[in-house]
Each structure stands twice: as structure tokens, then as C-alpha cells.
Amino acid sequence: MSNIGKVVGVNGNMVRVEFENDVLMNEVAYVKLKEKRLKSEVIRVRGKRAEMQVFEMTKGIGVGDEVEFTSDLLSVSLGPGLLGQIFDGLQNPLPQLAEQCGFFLERGIYLDAIPANRKWKFTPVAKVGDTVTRGEKLGSVPEGIFEHWIMVPFNQYGTYKVKSIAAPGEYAVKDRIAELEDEKGRTISVNMVFQWPVKRAVDVYAERLKPVDPLVTQIRIIDALFPVARGGTYCIPGPFGAGKTVLQQLTSRYADIDIVIVAACGERAGEVVETLREFPELIDPRTGKSLMERTIIICNTSSMPVAAREASVYTAVTMAEYYRQMGLHVLLLADSTSRWAQAMREMSGRLEEIPGEEAFPAYLESVIATFYERAGIVRLKSGQIGSVTVGGTVSPAGGNFEEPVTQATLKVVGAFHGLSRERSDARRYPAIHPLESWSKYQGIIDKKRTSFVRQALFASDEVGQMMKVVGEEGTSLDDYMVYLKGEFFDSVFLQQNAFDKVDAATTGDRQKYVFDTIISIILATFDMSDKESARSFFNQLRQRFLDWNGAPMDSDEFKKIEGEIMAMLEQHRKESAAEAAEKFKQMFG
């Protein structure tokens, strides 16, 4: 008994349909166009008319065309084999699509996200007679470097007795691996893959915990000053060209995390290509395997259909939640959440909803909040811990943070990495503004140290501002030293060369080590006679430090340069080495 409707209007990617039987909000329907079926989602229902967003180009659709409703919500397939794949916003595997259609994205072609005939080596865990509920482990298969849990599907809400379970062996995802019997004695058959509606958060855990563990990104300014926590959220707003995407690319490579999901949402295709071509070649030092094995790419770039862009972030976060259920730590990087918000705006405009600020829909804030709420660190029913961390870039119009998407995002995230145009213009990368950014999380360096350094930065900036008014000649040598120390810290620690093999990623240990060296420099008093010699000294010191940043930590070069730096300090520091060490100890223990 299929539910059929008829097109009565077309406006861009919005199609209005008249229907007879019941339809569901957010139900998937297909517009039939000759031999093609174009996937759509019901986004408003009024009387016997539904408005649908079509996930494809609508060219060629006419009034009277048939529409087939499916009674299913927009969903993704969850099961082994997602890792390493490249999907569009609706979970179509793009490489397979290319095999079928060539260079261009042909509309109306939908492929299985999970290869149906690949075999997995299944090891049962549950036993006949066990009582199980949704999300509990029935067995596992190895997926790359991970043990992929085969669980009771999240959409089975009852309590079940295991009636049968497959013996160890090779199975395809659609093969039955268990039979479960519910309270009423009905039997359901379970295989390795199931569907979950993307707009519904996966809530199959025992409890949500507070995010406290730092997630080391190996980007110094983040880890030291504006840390991210596992299970937390953060955002990177910035004008175009300030370095949002590069930051996310670096994070996707170097972050200390099990799985990375990259959601390329409405931005350049070329940027994703770099990731998808390079990751298979890059070896993850922690696992010895290619980075691609821990990565999923969701790619709905700017020229791909707008409605699918809206769906893409949900597709991404649903897969993140799925892997979290296996006790893994997942990082979702969305670039850019503004494009997702704009997709909502486009649709809201076509629906002729009453617009809010800058024509964004009135529900923008709550939708953004709900999305970020899907991050979190959780204790599973099994007692294990898993997390989803969400980092989203924001692309504010005109680079002005006083706009709806940035503001709505700042209300809900735990850390703010604000990129500044001045810093990127001056090639001070990463261009995260050290005075304006913030984080509510505890990082790898203790509070005492970071607040000391932050104060030094603020003081340096103050002198810098003052110098703009009174000039260098109107600034005392002491103040000038304060200024130079801040600038020094900025250039050798906060700035980081993304294109240098060594400097691109700094381990937590190295960060702590270097941080203390820098603190001791900020603490020191130097025997400078005038500003000229002070500047020249810091120039030389910076030079050696930059060389130091380029030397691997366990190398002889590292030790050699460190020795040179120490010698330079000894030569000009007023305190003796013992005095300096004592001062440091008093302040930081």
C-alpha cells in the first residue's frame, strides 16, 4: 500500500506536493522523473499539501509528476565498513558513484553505504539465553585497527532474550547473526547493519559525563591556551582566508583521537580532495596504519545540492555517535556550519517563513544548540567510556562575529577559537586570537602557568597599544621588555608553521617542556642597556627558538640548540641560574 502524491509546485529545490494518505514530518519521498527517482524530505505539512526539500537539482520536474512517500525518516546505515569511506551528505559512497557515473554527479542514483558482499570475521560475545537491550554487544568484527561491535540495533526498544547467535566465522553484513525474542515472544532477526534517523540523537548510553580529559590536538595555541576536551565542543569562526580549514585539516591529522569524521559542508571540493588523496598515503604514527583507516569523510561541497548539505552534518554526527557506542573517542570536524545554516535559510525563504535576523529562520539558535548537544562523553551500559567531540568552523558574513550563526554557536560551545584577519594578514598562523579566544576546559598545562602567560600577553599588548600612541621613545625600557617578551612568546610558541615537518605538530610533552622554558624567559630580568639592544637580543633568541622548533625532540640538534639558548640566557640574565630556578619553583611548584 504505497502512498502516492502529485507535484503541484516547484520553486528552486522546494517542491509542493498534494497527497491522500498520512505523511510523516521528515519522511523521505521520491519525485519520479522519467526513469529517475529524486530523493526528498518532507519539511512542512499543511492540510493535504506537503512541502519537500529535494536533495537534487529540480530541473525538469513538472506539475503532476508523481511522488512516492516511503514512511521512513531520513536515515543512515550503521554497520562495519564505514571507516575509510567518502560519502556525500546522504551517505552515498562517492568513489562507487564515480565508478558508475564517471566525472559528474548524476542525480537520482543512490548506492548502499555499506558494501553488501564484503565478509567480516564475526566473533560472538552474547550467549543464548542472555538478556540484552539496544546498544548492547552481541559480538564483534575487526574493522581496520578497531574492534567493531555488533550491537542490538538502536531502534529495537524492547528487552530481548538471545535465542540464537551465529558461530564464529565470516559473514556479510546482511547475514543473520542473531535471533532475539522480545517480551511478547516475537522473534526478530538481527544482522550487522541497521538504519537510524539522522536527526535523532543516539541515546543508548548509561549516563553522560562531564568533559574533562584534554584532547591533544598538537596545535600549541589550542592545547596550551584554549584547550578542547574529549566530548566537548568548540568553534572556529573567522573571515575567509584566516585559516579555518587548514586548522581543521591539521587537527584531523594530528589529534590524539580514535576516529575522525570530516564533514565538508558546503565549502570547496578541492579542500576535501587534499584530504581524500593524502590520507591514504599518510601513516598515523600511533597506529602505524594509514590515516584513512580512522577517518570518514562526508563531503557535500558548495556546488552539490543544498538540501543534502543541510542533511550532511546530521549524517556525520550520527556516524560519530555510532562509533562512540563502541567505547571509542570520535572527533567530528564540520567545515563550515555557516553553510549548513545558510541551507536552512534558503529553505526557510522558499517556505516563506517569517525571517529572523539576516533572514535566518527564527529557529536557528535552537537547531544549532541541538546539534552541538550531540557531542558528549558517555559511560556505556558496559561501563566503557566513549566520546564525540564536535568542532565546527563558522564563516561569518563580512568576518563580523556579531552575526546570528556565530552568536548562536558561541552560546553553546565550550571553547572559542576566534581567527583574526590582522593575524592572518601578518602571517601569524594559526591566526587564533590569543586575547579574544577562550576555553572552558582544562588543558594539559596547569592553570597557574597559563594564566601567568596570558597575563604576560595582555601586558605586552597593552604596551603595544600604548606605543602606538606615545611612540617607542615614550615607552620605558621596562615596559618595552614586557612588550618584547609577549611578542617573543607569540612568535615562537603561539605561531606554528603548518608546513614544517616537525613544527606542524607538537606533542603534549614537548609543549609542556617548551612552555616552562618560555615562562622562565618571561620571568627573567635581562641586563639590556637600551631598547635597541633588547630588540636585537630577542631577535636572536627568537631565531634560535624557531630553529629549535624545527628540530625533532629526541635529536642531537634539539639538545644542541637548547644549549645555545640557555647560554644566551645565562649571558644576559641578571639572576643566577640558581636564583632563576628558585623563582620559578616558588611560583609554579
Partner 1 sequence: MRKIYSRIDEISGNVVTVQADGIKYGELAEITSAHGKSLAEVILLDGGKVSLQVFAGSRGISTGDEVRFLSQPMMVSFSDDLMGRIFNGRGTPRDNGSALTENLIEIGGPSVNPAKRIIPRNMIRTGIPMIDLFNSLVESQKLPIFSISGEPYNELLARVALQAEVDLIVLGGCGLKYDDYLFFKERLESGGAMSRSIFFVHTAADPVVECLMVPDISLAVAEKFALKGKRVLVLITDMTNFSDAMKEIAITMEQVPSNRGYPGDLYSQLASRYEKAVDFDGAGSITILAVTTMPGDDVTHPVPDNTGYITEGQFYLKNGRIEPFGSLSRLKQLVNGKTRDDHRALMDGMIKLYASYKETLEKKSMGFRMSDWDEKLLKYGTLFESELMDLSVNIPLEGALDKGWEILAACFNPDETGLRTNLTSKFWPKKEAVTHG
- 27 phi/psi in degrees, rounded to 5: -75, 150
Q: How far apart are CA 494 and CA 490, in angstroms?
A: 5
- Residues 67-106 close enough to bind Mg ion by CB under 5 A: none
Cβ-based nearer residue to partner 1, 9 or 285: 9
- Residues 474-513 close enough to bind ligand ADP by CB under 6 A: 498-499
As given in the structure block, the three cell numbers for residue 425 are: 594578514
- Residues 415-444 close enough to bind ligand ADP by CB under 6 A: 429-430
Least Cβ distance, residue 323 to ligand ADP (angstroms): 26
The answer to whether residue 506 forms part of the interface with Mg ion (CB under 5 A) is no
238 contact, one of partner 1, ligand ADP, Mg ion, none, CB 5-8 Å limit per kind: ligand ADP
The answer to whether residue 546 forms part of the interface with ligand ADP (CB under 6 A) is no
Stretch of 241-249, 383-391, 435-443, 469-477 lying at the interface with Mg ion (CB under 5 A): 241-249
The answer to whether residue 537 forms part of the interface with ligand ADP (CB under 6 A) is no
How many residues line the site for Mg ion (CB under 5 A)?
A: 2
Least Cβ distance, residue 219 to ligand ADP (angstroms): 8
Q: What is the CA radius of gyration of the chain?
A: 28
Least Cβ distance, residue 390 to ligand ADP (angstroms): 17
- Residues 234-273 close enough to bind ligand ADP by CB under 6 A: 238, 240-246
Q: How far apart are CA 271 and CA 328, in angstroms?
A: 27
Q: How far is CA 443 from CA 225, 372, 497, in A?
A: 7, 20, 22
Q: How far apart are CA 543 and CA 558, in angstroms?
A: 14
Q: How far apart are CA 310 and CA 367, in angstroms?
A: 11
The answer to whether residue 227 forms part of the interface with ligand ADP (CB under 6 A) is no
Cβ-based nearer residue to Mg ion, 217 or 549: 217
Least Cβ distance, residue 53 to Mg ion (angstroms): 25
Q: Give the CB-nearest residue to ligand ADP.
A: 243
Q: In terms of C-beta density within 10 A (0-12 exposed, 13-18 middle, 19 or more buried), how is residue 468 classed?
A: exposed
Least Cβ distance, residue 401 to Mg ion (angstroms): 16
Nearest alpha carbon to residue 307 among 11, 64, 47: 11
Least Cβ distance, residue 50 to ligand ADP (angstroms): 37
Interface with Mg ion (CB under 5 A), residue from 140, 245, 450, 511: 245
Q: How far apart are CA 204 and CA 47, in angstroms?
A: 35
Least Cβ distance, residue 248 to ligand ADP (angstroms): 8
Strand partners, 51: 16, 44
Cβ-based nearer residue to partner 1, 34 or 585: 34
Q: How far apart are CA 469 and CA 59, in angstroms?
A: 60
243 contact, one of ligand ADP, partner 1, Mg ion, none, CB 5-8 Å limit per kind: ligand ADP
Strand partners, 39: 30
Least Cβ distance, residue 224 to ligand ADP (angstroms): 16
How many residues line the site for ligand ADP (CB under 6 A)?
A: 12
Phi-psi region of 99 (alpha: psi -120 to 50; beta: other; left: phi over 0): alpha
Instruction: Decide if 349 contacts 417 (C-beta within 8 A).
Output: no
- End-to-end CA distance of the chain: give it in Å, rounded: 74
Q: How far apart are CA 460 and CA 251, in angstroms?
A: 29
Cβ-based nearer residue to ligand ADP, 395 or 460: 395
* Residues that bind ligand ADP in the complex, under the rule CB under 6 A: 238, 240-246, 429-430, 498-499
